[in-house]
A = this chain, B = another copy of it.
Amino acid sequence: MRRCVEIAKKAIGHTNPNPMVGCVIVKDGKVVGEGFHPKAGQPHAEVFALRAAGDLAENATAYVSLEPCNHYGRTPPCTEALIRAKVKRVVVGMVDPNPIVASKVGVEEELCKRLNEVFIHHILTRKPFVTLRYSISMNGNISDWLGEGAMEFGGYYSQLLQEYDGIILSGASLTGSSCLPASQELQCKQLKQIIVASSSNSPAKLPLLYQNADDQPIIFADKNAEVDPEIAQHGIETVVLDELRLGPILNYCQRLGLCSLLLDTRGFCRIFEEFVKEGIENRLLQKVVMEVLPVWNGSREAIAVPAKNFDKEVRRLAKLQSRMSNGNLLVEGYF
């Protein structure tokens, strides 16, 4: 089943709105066929694995990270294909969360669920899966910095950008930067850039080297925000709102078909503080990715004294875990 998840990940960032699925066909203890779902509209993982296995699929066991589909969509049901190939046994990693699919059991369910957390959230709520990302110093200060190598190929930030359909950024984070953030991973899809410009401290400016990209950014600005005239020249979509709030921005993204969004705090401004508060209160945020920077910053307040009764209002995070990614230390959790 772990192998299923491993090969399923080959399609990371390409399967939306479908889930990533891997299938391994095993006969007499040997792998006779493997496959994964590469892209929406293309055949499912089971079909590729059955093709690879050929006649060897007879009496074999098929491992699938997600329960095989049993309904007619763009493709015929995989259950039929498995039966036709005379597979003896099917082992399922997780049952399909899609309400139109019925189900019972799961092997390595936790792993299979993490693989498709975006898909599961989206199929159940129809809302985008939103991850809050930020960097924090060892003494608890949110920082604009990214760890060394994080934006380069293989770095965690580059990998995050590959996994999400869009990124919500403060306009301030672009001031002086040479280009819009983009994943450095191979064959990654273009990420939708959602730039927030507030009148308080985050003017809408394009990066220095902005070129007419194939996939243009969208700008959300409050009515008093400073918008660079170049933005109009480039014909970039600009949505002006009376009040900048996270909810309406997410609704807009949903209508654009964006299933997953990264809310990135770089170029931190007052409006993002409000977004986080609103996001937590209204359950618009699903996940947190926190990078712990190897620094102790700010000489004045070396470590902050907590306010009295601070611990009373608490939101718990689930499944907290940490991992090293190319030398950067990440902590992840779920709201």
A268 at the interface (CB under 8 A from B): yes
Q: Does any Cβ of B come within 8 Å of A257's Cβ?
A: no
CB-based contact B305/A277 at 8 Å: no
Mark interface residues in A271-288 (1 if CB within 8 Å of B CB, else 0).
Answer: 011001100110000001
Q: With the chains together, A268 CA to B140 CA distance in Å?
A: 15
Residue contact A141 to B294, C-beta cutoff 8 Å? no
Q: Which residue of B lies closest to A313 (CB)?
A: B299
Chain copies in the assembled complex: 2
Residues of chain B lying within 8 A (CB to CB) of residue A140: 136, 140-142, 304
Task: Select which of B145, B300, B301, B324 is within 8 A of A321 by beta carbon.
Answer: B324
Q: Which residues of chain B come closer than 8 Å to A276, judged between CB atoms?
A: 302-303
Least CB distance from A119 to B in Å reads: 25
Cα distance A298–B290 in the bound complex, in angstroms: 18
CA distance A318 to B294 in the complex (A): 7
Nearest residue, chain B, Cβ from A285 = B296
Query: Is there contact, CB below 8 Å, between B268 and A306?
Result: yes
Is A314 in contact with B296, judged by CB distance below 8 angstroms? yes
A72 at the interface (CB under 8 A from B): no
CB contact between A302 and one of B144, B273, B317 (< 8 Å): that residue: B273
Say how far A312's CB is from chain B's closest CB, in angstroms. 8
Q: Does A333 touch B at the CB level, under 8 Å?
A: yes
Q: Is the CB of B313 within 8 A of A298?
A: yes
A93 to B219, CA, bound (A): 58
Contact across chains for B317 and A295 when beta carbons are under 8 A apart: yes
Chain B residues near A294 (CB, 8 Å)?
Answer: 316-318, 320, 333
A273 to B298, CA, bound (A): 13
Of the candidates B281, B295, B320, the one whose C-beta lies within 8 Å of that of A292 is B320
| Least distance between A327 CB and chain B CB atoms (Å) | 9
| Cβ A297 vs Cβ B322 within 8 A | no
Query: Is A295 a contact partner of B273 (Cβ separation < 8 A)?
Result: no
**Does A315 have its Cβ within 8 Å of any Cβ on chain B?**
yes
Binding site for B on A (CB under 8 A): 134, 136, 138, 140-145, 265, 268-270, 272-273, 276-277, 280-281, 288, 290, 292, 294-307, 310-311, 313-318, 320-324, 329, 331, 333, 335
Report 20 cross-chain contacts, Cβ distance below 8 Å, ordered by A residue.
Answer: A134-B303, A138-B290, A138-B331, A138-B333, A140-B140, A140-B304, A142-B303, A143-B306, A272-B303, A273-B304, A277-B302, A280-B302, A292-B320, A292-B322, A295-B316, A296-B314, A296-B316, A297-B313, A298-B307, A298-B313
Kindly list 7 other residue pairs between chains A and B, CB separation below 8 angstroms, not including A292-B322, A295-B316: A142-B303, A294-B333, A295-B317, A296-B317, A298-B313, A320-B329, A321-B324
